[in-house]
Amino acid sequence: MFDIREYYYSSAGSGNSIEYNTTDIDDEITSYIDTLLIDSVDSLYLCDRYKHNDSIIEIIYPRQGYPKNQTLIFTPDRLRFLLSFYPYKGDFSKVNKIVLRPRYFEAGNIELSSIYLKKKKVLVLYITHPLGYTGSSGENNKFISVSLENIMDTKVIKDSIDRSGTHKNRIPYLWNILATINPDGKEDMEKFFIKMDKVDSVVYPLLNDISYFYSRHGY
């Protein structure tokens, strides 16, 4: 998996500025999620559910709606849609809760996409640029976690993939995450990032506006 600290060390050597301390970010995120799961579900968040056979995933999402364009925000309906079409439902056993946190974290053209708390089997999704999908290695915007070719060949029905070269192979990055996360291992948390060559000059301020709006409301 991509290590954001290695990126920062490389950036420091090249003279690029480093604006954030990643350890502080990790601590803030973990503390917030722990508090959210204990105290904030009724006051700030609502709880919905996705059910498939014996698998039940709680969907925790903001009670406060965003008053402007909501196309950049993950909603319970959109999440249920993607889960419904995920081809390997056995992976749902790795997730007890999915938290839709409407905050935006970015540094050096790297966005925090999600974190996975292993012991609690909690997956937290953050707002990002509306890529929504992982693509071929030739794209400028790439989701970084595991070999995409491994996902494309083993986790997605092959007949659904266009290999003609006319269209780029694209799968929802949520599927990539579900295929990759592992509740076992020594680490308590897995982090997933999206690395871009550059941010979108139109979308970037909108994401920050959404994040600031929810920050002011206690999220």
- Write the pLDDT tens digit of every residue in 119-148: 889 999 999 987 645 444 444 343 333 333
Question: Domain containing 15: what range?
Answer: 4-216
Binned at pLDDT 50, 70 and 90, residue 216 comes out as: very high
- How far is Cα 182 from Cα 110, in angstroms, rounded to an integer? 23
Give how far Cα 193 sits from Cα of 99, 164, 181, Å.
17, 29, 13
pLDDT at residue 215 tops 80: yes
More confident residue, 20 or 210: 210
Q: How many domains does the chain have?
A: 1
DSSP state of 199: -
More confident residue, 104 or 173: 104
Tabulate helix, strand, coil % of the chain (nearest 5).
35, 25, 40
Per residue in 142-173, pLDDT tens?
A: 333 333 334 344 433 333 334 444 445 567 88
- How far is Cα 118 from Cα 181, in angstroms, rounded to an integer? 8
Largest CA-CA distance found in the chain, in angstroms, rounded: 53
Give how far Cα 212 sits from Cα of 109, 172, 192, Å.
19, 26, 22
Per residue in 159-208, pLDDT tens?
A: 333 444 444 556 788 888 898 898 987 778 888 888 887 888 889 999 99
Per residue in 51-89, pLDDT tens?
A: 999 999 999 999 999 998 888 998 999 999 999 989 889
pLDDT at residue 4 tops 80: no
Task: Record the pTM.
Answer: 0.72
Per residue in 25-54, pLDDT tens?
A: 667 767 778 787 776 667 889 999 999 999
pLDDT at residue 23 tops 90: no
